[in-house]
Structure 1
Amino acid sequence: MSDAAADASRDDPTPDDRFVPAIDCHVHLMPERLVAAIRGALTDEAGWGFPHPSTQGEMERTLRAAGIERYCALPYAHKPDIARELNAWVAERADTSEMVVPFATVHGDDEVGDVVREAFEAGARGLKFQCPVQRVAPDDPRLDPAYELAAEYDRPILFHGGTAPMFEDSPHVGVERFRAFVDSYPEVRACCAHMGTFETEAFVDVLAANDNVFLDTCFAMSSAVGESMAFDPASIPDSVFEEHSERIMYGSDYPNIPHSYRSEREHLLSRDLPESTYRDLFHDTAERFLGER
């Protein structure tokens, strides 16, 4: 058995009472050909292996066994003219499962307003931008029509806006690009994924200063993250989660992670956080982000 497969086999089907019921705000449900391309690129860039299944049924069995109630299904368009089809595909999967909270995406060179309005009218609950891969920064003016519609429809946006795991030279990420978006659209709920790594402290400062800014824990707070990138989750003190639990939420990046799904919650559960903090992290904050609270 490979190391990655052995790690995946550690997934414990016995849910922890502090975790259940949980909402995973960062899951990638996409067509198989796109998943294969993403995994191939990550393998080439970082040498990661991927032990997890990527079909909806198998994914949901793992998530349900862990205690996941719902998950945000996040697509992203790495080139023009695929977002419409991708958004429709995710929406169709949401029709078949009560677990799926469908998000949508758009490329900066698409008919941005038309694509996003169509997706929102079809039921998309928010937008996802993988900024370095899509080569679009949070403050790119091409996306203004999308942001204006997010405000109009009261839909949140989740950005990969940080430099991790391999984007420190990308001009499309970083706390200043994210801060510029927040300054321009303070009414839009916006999340930076991965705790803003590798600029976590600066992203926490942005969160503290803006009521509509969120962070997610995905990948960065895994107990196994140090095996895949140079980040120690213990560098973030408990006080960050206790003080900002209403705007920090659990996410996993599943199934495109090179470690076990269990490890995504394992490090957080190893901390001695208040019960109310865990309820926020694992469930209630995601509902706030989605506009349900």
Structure 2
Amino acid sequence: MTDSGPVRAFWQDLGLPGLFDVHVHFLPPNIQAKVWAQFDQAGPKIGRDWPIRYRGSHEERVEQLRSFGVRRFSALPYAHRPGVATYLNDWAAGFAADVPESLWSATFYPEPEAPSYVAAGIEAGVEVFKVHVQVGEFHLDDPELDKVWGILEDAGTPIVTHAGSGPVGNEFTGPGALARVLERFPRLAVVVAHMGAPEYAEFLDLAERHERVRLDTTMIFTDFFDQEAPYPSELVPRLVDLQPKVLLGSDFPTIPYPYAHQLEGLERLGLGEDWLRAVCWHNGVELFG
């Protein structure tokens, strides 16, 4: 299964050098297997059948992205409990060293060691962090993270943040905690994963109010997400003015449809080729270089 032709035709028709995907996952094999098992079982944090289209080894999946023409992509490990972040970060550092297209990715968790290893990661060259409050079951405004947010605000390092209540919400999800964090750390470079689904309007408001808050398109505007959490049509025009702050994300490999379907969903919005070029390439380059 290559699925490459439609993807390459998409960016070639736009005159782009390729795609910049800010929401791709690579995890240590033992953890990757456990994550996929949750999806296979439609576990409590998944909530629905979710067949994974792009399985295979790390090497096979990297080659798949290269065949698509995805020139830059993240790895986005995310800590699900205390004590695991440094293990994930060490593994992700090795992945970034081996895969030159990959953004050097890392994660953190509300724990006493977090300020130290976050600062060390930034100093070493980490380009993006990922946190997932639905899986990790922590509040973004946990006092244990105060020093971490200060370090990240000063460094300007982006944080891809899954804070929306999709696919299954819990007491830790929703826009409230991120809004409170941004009141105290307004210069944080946050990328809201999945455009904040299903609290689209609230997270869109945060992106409009805060200079360095962005949204990624991950799985939004696809038939799969439209079944349960369609993006409200009345919000789409606001994405025109927000063009510089919208970034392509896919959730590869953990998607149940061809990679090209995400791109087709963006094209169906009818926001124009300049908008697509910005979202699928230029905005990522502007943020990450």
- Global fold match (TM > 0.5): yes
The match for 1:30 is: 27
The Cα offsets for residues 65-97 of structure 1, whole Å up to 9 and x where unpaired, read as 222110021001112222112111111111112
More off after superposition, 109-118 vs 73-82: 109-118
Q: How does 1:135-150 map to 2 (within 5 A)?
A: 135-150=137-152
> CA separation in 2, counterparts of 1:179 and 1:69?
33
Residue ranges of structure 2 left out of the alignment (5+ in a row): none
Q: Which amino acid aligns with 1:26?
A: H
Counterpart of 1:194 in structure 2 is: 194
Contact persistence 1:15–1:66 (CA under 8 A): no
Partner Cα distance (2:229, 2:203) in 1: 15
SS in 2 for 1:100: coil
SS of 2:33's equivalent in the other structure is helix
Alpha-carbon shift at residue 155 of structure 1 (Å) = 0.7
CA displacement at 1:178 relative to structure 2 = 1.4
Match of 2:206 in 1: 206
1:110–1:34 distance in 2 versus 1, CA, 3 Å: farther
Question: Within 1, Cα distance between the matches of 2:125 and 2:56?
Answer: 23
Q: Distance in 2 between matches of 1:210 and 1:53?
A: 37
Structure 1 position 250 matched with structure 2 position 245:
no
Consecutive unaligned residues in structure 1, runs of 5 or more: none
Q: Which residue of 2 aligns with 1:128?
A: 130
Contact 1:13–1:65 (8 Å) recurs in 2: no
Post-superposition offset of 1:113: 0.9
Q: Which deviates more from structure 2 when the two are superposed, residues 28-37 or residues 237-246?
A: 237-246
Q: What pairs up with 1:147-226 in 2 under 5 angstroms?
A: 147-167=149-169, 170-226=170-226
Query: Structure 2 counterpart of 1:164, which letter?
Result: G
CA distance in 1, matches of 2:285, 2:4: 29
1:12 deviates by: 3.2
Q: Given the two structures, how large is their TM-score scaled by the length of structure 2?
A: 0.90
CA distance in 2, matches of 1:287, 1:96: 21
Q: Is the 8 A contact 1:195 1:215 kept in 2?
A: yes
Letter in 1 for 2:79: A
**Worse-superposed segment, 190-199 or 142-151:** 142-151
Cα separation, 2, equivalents of 1:101 and 1:149 = 19
- Counterpart of 1:61 (choices 53, 57, 63) is 63
Deviations 1:3-50 (A, max 9, x none): xx8xx8697353312365211000111111111111212333222221
Tell me the amino acid that sits aligned with residue 71 of structure 1.
Answer: F
CA deviations on 1:215-242 (whole Å, 9 max, x unpaired) are 100012324333xx50224636542321
> For residues 79-118 of structure 1, what are the structure 2 equivalents within 5 Å?
79-118=81-120
Matches of 1:132 and 1:205, distance apart in 2: 21
Contact 2:23 2:73 in 1 (8 A): yes
1:157–1:191 Cα contact (<8 Å) kept: yes
Q: Distance in 2 between matches of 1:242 and 1:53?
A: 35
Answer yes or no: is the 8 Å Cα contact 1:81–1:110 preserved in 2.
no
Which TM-score applies when normalising by structure 1? 0.88
Is the 2:3–2:260 contact (alpha carbons within 8 Å) kept by the matching residues of 1?
Answer: no
Identity rate, percent:
25
CA RMSD for the aligned pairs?
A: 2.1
SS at match of 1:128: strand
Identify the residue that residue 278 of structure 1 maps to in structure 2.
Answer: 276
Counterpart AA for 1:186 = P
CA deviations over 1:103-162 (Å, ceiling 9, x no partner): 211121351111212222232112110011111222222112221211232211111010
Number of residue pairs matched? Answer: 281
In 1: Cα distance, 2:166 partner to 2:104 partner: 25
Change (3 A) 1:200 1:61: same
Which of 274-283 and 68-77 deviates more? 274-283
- Alpha carbons of structure 1 residues 162 and 43: separation in structure 2 relative to 1, 3 Å: same
SS of 2:74's partner is strand
Task: Please report how far the alpha carbon of residue 101 of structure 1 lies from its aligned counterpart in structure 2 after TM superposition.
Answer: 0.2
Note if contact 2:200-2:231 (Cα within 8 Å) is conserved in structure 1: no
- Tell me the secondary structure at the aligned position of residue 48 of structure 1: coil
**Structure 1 residue 180 displacement after superposition:** 0.9
- In the alignment, is the contact (CA less than 8 A) between 1:15 and 1:67 conserved in 2? no
Inter-partner Cα distance in structure 2 for 1:216 and 1:76: 17
| 1: CA distance, partners of 2:36 / 2:98 | 25
